[in-house]
Amino acid sequence: MEWLGELKSDADDPELQPVDPSVTQAFEAMLEEAKPAKPAKPGAAPPAPQASPQPLVPPPVVVPEAPAQPQPVIQVDPAVQATLRAAQPLPAETEGPEQEFARALAEEGPADPAITLADPVTLPNPGLNQYDLNQYDLNQYDLNQYAPPPVGSGTGPQPAVGPGTGPQPAVGPGSGPQPVLGTGPIPAVDPAASPRPSGPGTGPQQAVNPGTGPLPALGTGPLPAVGTGTGPQQAVGPGTGPQPAVGPVGPGTSPQPVIRPGTGPIHAVGPNTGPQPAVGPGTGPQPAVGPGTGPQPAVGPGTGPQPAVGPGGSGPQPFAHPGPGPQPAVGPGGSGPQPFAHPGTGPMPVVGSGTGPQPAVGPGSGPQHVLRLDSGPIPAVGPGTGPQPTVGAGTGPQPAIEATGPAYYGTDTVAIAAASPERPQPYAELGMNDEEYRRVREILGRRPTSAELAIYSVMWSEHCSYKSSKVHLRQFGEKAPKTDKLLVGMGENAGVVDVGQGWAVTFKVESHNHPSYVEPYQGAATGVGGIVRDIMSMGARPIAVMDSLRFGPADAPDTQRVLPGVVAGIGGYANSLGLPNIGGETVFDACYGQNPLVNALCVGVMRHEDIQRAVAPGPGNRVILFGALTGPDGIGGASVLASATFDEESHQKRPSVQVGDPFMEKLLIECCLELFNEDLVVGIQDLGAAGVSCATTELAAAGTGGMHVDLDTIPLRDETLLPEEILMSESQERMMAVVTPDKVDRFMEICARWEIPATVIGTVTDTGRLVMTWRGETIVDLPPTTAADEGPVYNRPLQPPADLGALQSDTPGRLTRPSNGDELRRTVLWLAGSPNLASKTWVTSQYDRYVLGNTVLAMPENAGVVRIDDDSGLGIALSLDGNGRYTRLDPYAGAQLALSEAFRNVAATGARPLAVTNCLNFGSPEDPGVMWQFARAVEGLADGCQYLGIPVTGGNVSFYNQTGSAPINPTPVVGVLGVHDDVRRRVNMGLTTDGATLALLGETREEFGGSEWAHVVYGHLGGLPPLVDFKAETALASVLVNAIRDGLVTVVHDLSDGGLSQTLVESCLRGSLGARITLPGDPFVALFSESVARAMVAVRPGAEARLAALCESAGIPVTQIGVAGGDSLTVTGHGPDGDQQELFSIPLYELRESHERTLPSYAD
């Protein structure tokens, strides 16, 4: 009982009073939204020219004027973007990634004016918010410089289109001196049969004639045209001069060469019949890609104007990457699949028509995409025979359109940013409001570069900054009970608790809700991966996982898509990591139909001395990125997926969901443990949302304040990634470590042994600046604390939901209750087989609960119990609980009831509750009703933890869980960690001893508000949830812990959802032993009320008196309710006439059938 000494026991505590919802209030802090604490957004801030969706004008597209400016925020759906990217001209600045989440942000809208910015920054606004094409200074860009790419149309073979064979445009001023494209005709092709000499040099190079032999590599001067050939052609190397045309004149029949990036204009790629070359990124204008019959090339990102993609070949057509320059026209269709066209911030191309599947931008005979515009002039959209895009349409062949030749911005460097303060930036697309953007400018003393804008936008996103929740979450710290058990508190990747004997435990739960709806398997799998890396980054060995899942109705068709995928994803990832899944919950409710909740918990252990921190101290220390390569995964994922409200467009987000590789993560775990074991790291951070951006910013902010990172060193899976994309990529299974120079070699050796790529990407400095370079230019130079720790804080408006009063007034008292034995019997079976109370074996049998050999208890037990020390038996217990219906009725009480249940569950195994984690799943914080629910729930949880004397060590906030304007039931999920000094003394919940006396501890009141009975039988939600009674809860816990320690009880099962009825069903079936029960009082209330602070126990023969004495001293009522035994559940009580009689008897096989067949019938 010593642990109870710290607890308050004031019966007058307001929490102990019946909760009046209107009176209840808020609580505290935790974490983020649906993900790991990293921000997710991509970032770059490309300015998009832009505008609002412009009316699409038919074919001829107006060339935007200076396209380069950042556009107003246009939201582009990520999936659409992906498809658009190839086709659209890239705007000059950043592009891609941010736009993905931009749409989500757009949905969010600019900050509500009613919201007060806690730290308002005023900055003169030069009118950046307005985007108007007229703003563009036309004089800056000489349109005549650009050779308009003609675009064909029609359904037949199309003519080659491409600037490549004609005069090439000069590249306008943008980000510095730009090369002028050759304006003359490209050299004639001179066929020949021999290999050509290569002509490396700095001067103009010779034309390379087509031939049948290999063609030469090229040098650094202007490069020659490469003619057509019938043999394999050679790669055209990077050059600094204009690069060659590749066989624009005649078709080739063989694979054509790769065109490497160059800094000069790049040439047109002619038609041919073989696979066509990839066109690499370059800083100059890029080539036109002609038609061909083979697969056509990918067009890499470039900073110059991008090429026209010619009219169709018969093979698959190219993928065009985004670049900051004008993007290419996508020619009329070939007969093969056509390319995805990415959106860009530059002028948009004309899009022709074709007969094959068409690209995102452009009509075709196949299904067409919505054309979302972002920044540039809007393209004309040609005709098609299939569904047409929202923007523009035509029925006839379209005329060739003059190309737009807007200026483009090159890589947005710090120097350029300083010199071009007026360049509009798409901060709104990135989710920043005007005030936030102004504040960034004030911090930097200039406009941010696109990469900096990307970093600030993600680091200041709701997901990473907790800007809406922070003011409430502070209570977790302010109200934290005094304890010496907390070794690391909130703020690190996860809190660390002392469990004794030199051992420390870290645990945390996080959500991955939105990704799991979009792509159930990978969304859930990567949710597990992310939380496991959080635990690893504290220096701990992960030892178990749990999952709290919520879906729509079990019989809903979409649930049958989401549920199996989520379960398989959690199992597939954790099983492959070798982590036992020891418990959790699976709940069904219509409110989660289009917004499932997938909350994953991980717990890890370490010796006290092995605790690691996410810091980067020590100037000169190396920054090492290790784990998986960086690819275009989930760029924008965190913001888009964590903040987007689900709607019919969700399916278009598929490409944004990351894909996990549990095998790599398993290697990472073992590798990290070896690194820790040899004391090779001084700081470590996992990469989650917002990837490198977040990890470098947070490490630097927590260290000596400075870091220099060379983005060119980051190993990429896709070399065409732009710097902003590299910064924002959410590729999984990556970690970042800070290592002293003398230990780098050994660090690398260990990584090599585990076959894990590891690269030094930077150095810790003491400059107080996070500096990043790319291709030799500085693109980021900012004070990291301003991004990591000094984000905006909002005090959003709060107001109880309008329907709350009506909801609370609609009590379950009006519902007809079962009145006789037969009705009670049917109700018991009905509830036992209802989806929320039915056996979850279908789920849990897909999880490995045995691996690591330390699982003492796992689901469906009261709590998961894991042994930490084989010799001493030291172990932990964990329970994860939540109740959205209770919280809907009263958020303050609902959060406390979740805490209460988890606390009780842990104690029911014999463990002393020690610490709390939580995952707060709510709707949009911009909805005052939701924000009120959040504030009340946080306050309730903080007050509860304070009362119970167990601190919150960390957690996660997930907002925007809603469909349209309908938020989910507010669902705080609370995890309580307890400690077992010796797990061998634990008890479980299954009745196994015939003849054992069964007793009910605690007081049963008539409480049905939000109950399973009302939900299952009537679909009713109303009234008030059960009374919170922490005093009784702590007393019960003390009785249970002591009774178990002293061996007075052999079985314990808590009472919660479904009341005593469900407890009896579970205990009988778990042990395959029946029971004869005599109910006190009203049988219906006794069976189905959900009053808190109750448990059923089986008393060890002869210990009845000692248990009674223990209960009496603790003030816990104890009632003998029956005896274990037999093969049926038989219940006696007051009949309708008030006489004592057998009310019903249910054979175990019938009970089992009802309880166990439900989920398989829906899920298989």
Which positions are annotated as active-site residues? Answer: 463, 512
Q: How far is the CB of 867 from other proteins (least distance, A)?
A: 7
Neighbours of 1128 (CB within 10 A): 18
> Which residues from 626-665 bind other proteins, rule CB under 8 A?
661-664
Residue 854 found at the interface with other proteins (CB under 8 A):
yes
When binding is defined by CB under 8 A, the residue of 57, 568, 659, 1103 that contacts other proteins is 568
Least distance between other proteins and beta carbon 521 (Å): 12
40, 658, 730, 762, 919 from 687: Cα distances, Å: 10, 13, 7, 16, 20
Which of 222, 206, 212 has its CA nearest to residue 191?
Answer: 212
Rounded-to-integer distance, Cα 1038 and Cα 911, Å: 10
Taking the complex as a whole, the smallest distance from the CB of residue 855 to other proteins amounts, in Å, to 6
Nearer to other proteins, 217 or 543 (CB): 543
Among 203, 561, 850, 1072, binds other proteins (CB under 8 A): 850
Q: Which stretch binds other proteins (CB under 8 A): 311-319, 474-482, 531-539, 849-857?
A: 849-857
Cβ 576 to other proteins, closest distance in Å? 5
Among 395, 845, 1072, 1113, binds other proteins (CB under 8 A): 845
**One symbol per residue from 376 to 415: x for binding other proteins (CB under 8 A), - otherwise; what is it?**
----------------------------------------
Per-residue x/- track, 659-698, other proteins (CB under 8 A)? --xxxx-xx-------------------------------
Q: Which is nearer to other proteins, 28 or 848 (CB)?
A: 848
Q: Which of 514, 588, 522 is nearest to 963 (CA)?
A: 514
| Shortest spacing between CB 766 and other proteins, in angstroms | 39
Q: Which is nearer to other proteins, 664 or 1052 (CB)?
A: 664
**Site for other proteins contains 844 (CB under 8 A):** yes
**Site stretch for other proteins (CB under 8 A), options 226-234, 462-470, 750-758, 762-770:** 750-758
Among 43, 572, 801, 833, contact with other proteins (rule: CB under 8 A): 572
Residue 855 touches other proteins, criterion: CB under 8 A: yes
Q: Which of 846, 1120, 1141, 1161 binds other proteins (CB under 8 A)?
A: 846
Q: What residues from 143 to 172 belong to the interface with other proteins (CB under 8 A)?
A: none
* Integer-rounded Cα radius of gyration of the chain: 32
The smaller minimum CB distance to other proteins, of residues 133 and 577, is found at 577
Nearest approach, Cβ of residue 934 and other proteins (Å)? 36
Enumerate the β-bridge partners of residue 977. Answer: 878, 915
- Using CB under 8 A, pick the residue from 68, 856, 931, 989 that binds other proteins: 856
The least distance separating other proteins from the CB of residue 850, rounded to whole angstroms, comes to: 4
Interface segment toward other proteins; rule CB under 8 A; list 300-308, 748-756, 768-776, 1043-1051: 748-756
Q: For residue 664, what are the contacts with CB-CB under 8 A and spacing of at least 6?
A: 627, 628, 732, 733, 756
* SS3 (DSSP) at 517: helix
Closest to other proteins by CB, 13 or 981: 981
Measured between alpha carbons, how far is 1125 from 1131 in angstroms, rounded to an integer?
Answer: 13
> DSSP letters of 155-202?
SS------GGGSPPPBPPSSSS--PBPP-SPPPPP---SSPPPP--SS
What 8-state DSSP symbol labels residue 1139?
-
In the complex, least distance from residue 842 CB atom to other proteins, rounded to whole angstroms: 9
d(CA 619, CA 199): 46
- In this complex, which beta carbon is closest to other proteins, that of residue 459 or of residue 543? 543
φ, ψ of residue 527 to 5 degrees: the values are -65, -45
Instruction: Report the distance separating Cα 844 and Cα 881, nearest Å.
Output: 16
| Interactions with other proteins, residue window 491-520 (CB under 8 A) | none
- Does 1051 bind other proteins (CB under 8 A)? Our answer is no
| Interaction of residue 852 with other proteins, rule CB under 8 A | yes
Determine, following the binding rule CB under 8 A, whether residue 586 of this chain makes contact with other proteins.
no
CB of 1156 to other proteins, least distance (A): 13
Residue ranges of alpha helices (H) inside 368-448 are 414-419, 434-444
Applying CB under 8 A, among 476, 551, 592, 847 the residue interacting with other proteins is 847
Binding segment toward other proteins, per CB under 8 A, in 793-801, 838-846, 904-912, 941-949: 838-846
Cis amide bond preceding 1026, omega within 30: no
Contact, 444 vs 782, CB < 8 A?
yes
Footprint on residues 761-820 left by other proteins (CB under 8 A) = none
For the chain, how far is it from start to end, CA to CA, in angstroms? 47
d(CA 1090, CA 1002): 12
Q: How many residues bind other proteins (CB under 8 A)?
A: 34
Contact range with other proteins by CB under 8 A, out of 584-592, 603-611, 851-859, 1129-1137 = 851-859
Q: Specify the residue, 4 or 852, whose C-beta has the smaller distance to other proteins.
A: 852
* Nearest to other proteins of 612, 988 (CB atom): 988
H/E stretch holding 709 reads strand 706-710
Identity of the residue, 263 or 854, whose beta carbon is nearer to other proteins in the bound complex: 854
Query: In the window 870-909, what residues touch other proteins (CB under 8 A)?
Result: 870
Angle at 597 between CA 646 and CA 102, to 5 degrees: 35
Q: Establish if 611 lies at the interface with other proteins (CB under 8 A).
A: no
CB nearer to other proteins: give 725 or 848: 848
Pairing of strands 597-607, 912-921: unpaired
The stretch among 39-47, 239-247, 570-578, 963-971 that binds other proteins (CB under 8 A) is: 570-578
Structure tokens that stand for 835 in this block: 């989806």
Q: Does 863 bind other proteins (CB under 8 A)?
A: no
CA distance 621 to 235: 40
CA dihedral for 1143, 1148, 1150, 1154, sign (positive or negative): positive
What angle in degrees, to the nearest 10, is found between the helix axes of 1104-1114 and 1030-1045?
150
C-alpha distances (whole Å) from 683 to each of 494, 624, 679, 1062 are 14, 10, 10, 48
**Among residues 12, 742, 755, 1137, the one that binds other proteins under rule CB under 8 A:** 755
- 1139 part of the interface to other proteins, by CB under 8 A: no
Nearer to other proteins, 733 or 901 (CB): 733
CA dihedral (571, 575, 580, 585) in degrees, to 10, reads 0
Nearest Cα residue to 136 out of 203, 214, 48? 48
Q: Which is nearer to other proteins, 194 or 677 (CB)?
A: 677
Does 754 engage in binding with other proteins (CB under 8 A)?
yes
Distance CA 154, CA 355 (A): 8
Residue 582 CB, shortest distance to other proteins, in Å, is: 12
Q: In what order do the strands lie in the sheet with 1095-1099?
A: 1049-1054, 1095-1099, 997-1001, 1118-1124, 1075-1078, 1128-1134, 1140-1147
Considering only residues 963 to 992 of the shown chain, the ones binding other proteins according to CB under 8 A are 983-984
Q: For residue 1019, count other CB atoms closer than 10 A to its CB.
A: 8
Q: Shortest distance, CB of residue 563 to other proteins, whole angstroms?
A: 12
Stretch that binds other proteins, among 153-161, 419-427, 573-581, 968-976 (CB under 8 A): 573-581
Question: Tokens for 606?
Answer: 């370490």
Nearest residue (CB) to other proteins, 661 versus 1012: 661
Element (H, E) at 276: none
Residues that bind other proteins in the complex, under the rule CB under 8 A: 568, 571-572, 575-578, 661-664, 666-667, 753-755, 844-856, 867, 870, 983-984, 1164
